[in-house]
Amino acid sequence: MTQNILKSSLENASFNIIFQILCRGVTFVLNAFVVRHVGQAVLGVINIILDTIMIAIRTITFVPLILHNPENALLAFGVAQLVAAIFYTTSHYLYFHYYIKKINKCKLKRRMSLKDSSDEYVVREFPFKTVTDFLPGQLENKESYLDKKLTILTWSFFRQGILKQVLTEGERLIMTVMPVLTFTEQGTYEIVNNLGSLAARFIFRPIEDSGYFYFTQMVKRDKSINDQNPVKIQESVNVLTHLCSAVMSIGLVVLVFGQSYSSTLLWLYGGAKLTTYLPVLLMRAHCLAILLLGINGVTECYTNATADSATINKSNLIMIYESIAFLCASYLFAIWFGPVGFILGNCVNMSLRILHSIVFINKRYRDTVYHPLRGLVPKPVFSASLLIAALVTNVSHAYFFPDEKVLHLTIGVIMFMIVLVSWIYEHHDLIRLGTNKWYERRNRHKKSD
């Protein structure tokens, strides 16, 4: 059972990452075209809050409209945003309508077939019979209209969602309400922020979503660690440790190489106008935010997946103070440092959230022999290789960019390979585990064939 849950979580994360890359590959090219042909001041007014599907639909709608009538860029954005929102909402209902209709037809057709009993199992597991079941309704065999425990937990997550929205998009509120930045600075910030968040959306978000599903199945909210299944706890600790190690390693690589190759990435994306001082500074600062974002994603997904309703309510109260601190820090840093102040404010926000999650996890495992957060400590050989890479790539950037871009990029590839080899050397146990799992799966497929 535990292996099936882990396998399902890994497959879900893999498919999400592949899907994100495929979608972003198209929108990356289209957005790069928009950046090169639309002024940064206009992008600052638009102020690019997006999801993967909405970005794709909106951009595909936006590009023809802006080509047809470049003067009405704001109107084109509004139309594209409306089309994307309608598509995003209706597509979910249409899909589930099709899916429910399909499995109901399958159930009627194959109910008596023992050979196809797996289809009947899928039908029994799916809780909805019609699309209207997605709407609120009364539970069967319940005297009360609402389940009390479920209502309390849902209300806790609802309040937490509002607070997390403020923590996630608070800088947009400050940009819109308070004139701390010009439209050009806002546009530059949006370009860099969207580009810098690709790693988070490609990798960290699928890991976080799959990790949340996995931990909810493995760790019970209302019991102490010592009172739970030791096999499940041991495996969940191992998974959390490896996840922490993975996101820490990815974040450190982004931080180190981002200092020397932010200008190269911006040049590839938007041309020479994005290699000026401000965009490069923003991208370099964003690399630190990516590191903290990855750590926060893993630690917070575990906290949300294993905390009881009382702890979540307490977390909501703490988030109120975090929101106030984040908004104040963003406002003050924006006044003092300009657009980079919003990124520094986000770093403060992520640091506070990481601290809160670490305190929760340490408290959860305080009376046990487990130490799941040891994965956040990078190993010595990997750390040394990162320091060498930082020195070499910064010297390369000083001497070879922008005149010798190919040579500068080649040096970066070589140093990245050295860092990768050092990571593999110190994580051979994880590599061996992944290889063994792959061989086991391949052998099972061969036997089944």
Q: How many CB atoms lie within 10 A of CB 49?
A: 11
pLDDT tens profile 311-359: 877 877 787 788 788 888 888 888 888 888 888 988 998 999 899 999 9
pLDDT in tens, 359-412: 999 998 888 888 889 889 999 999 999 999 999 999 999 999 888 989 999 999
For residues 46 and 74, is the Cβ–Cβ distance under 8 A? yes
**Which range is least confidently modeled, 30-44, 86-100, 132-146?**
30-44
Nearest CA among 430, 17, 1, 3 for reference residue 209: 17
Give the residue-averaged pLDDT of 262-278: 84
Q: Which two tokens stand for residue 46?
A: 């638009």
Rounded mean pLDDT, 411-438 = 84
Residue 265 CA, chain-centre distance (Å), reads 21
Whether the pLDDT of residue 52 is over 80: the answer is no
DSSP 54-104: HHHHHHHHHHHHHHH-GGGHHHHHHHHHHHHHHHHHHHHHHHHHHHHHHHH
Asked if the model's pLDDT at residue 2 lies above 60, the reply is no
Per-residue confidence (pLDDT) for residue 44, from 0 to 100: 45
Hunting for tokens 């041991």 — which residue is that? 234
The three-state secondary structure class of 164 is: helix
Torsion angle of C-alpha atoms 330, 347, 353, 253, degrees rounded to 10: 160
DSSP 90-136: HHHHHHHHHHHHHHHHHHHHHTT-STTHHHHHHHHH---SSGGGGS-
Per DSSP, the three-state class of 204 is helix
pLDDT score, position 5: 62
Is 146's pLDDT higher than 50?
Answer: yes
Q: What is the pLDDT of residues 72-125, one digit of tens each?
A: 877 888 888 888 888 877 877 787 788 788 777 776 666 655 554 444 444 445
Distance from C-alpha of 134 to C-alpha of 131, rounded to nearest angstrom? 6
CB 293 within 8 A of CB 286: no
96 Cβ neighbours under 8 A, 6+ residues apart: 128, 131, 134
pLDDT at 431 over 60: yes
pLDDT score at 408: 94
| Contact call for residues 245 and 427 (beta carbons, < 8 A) | yes
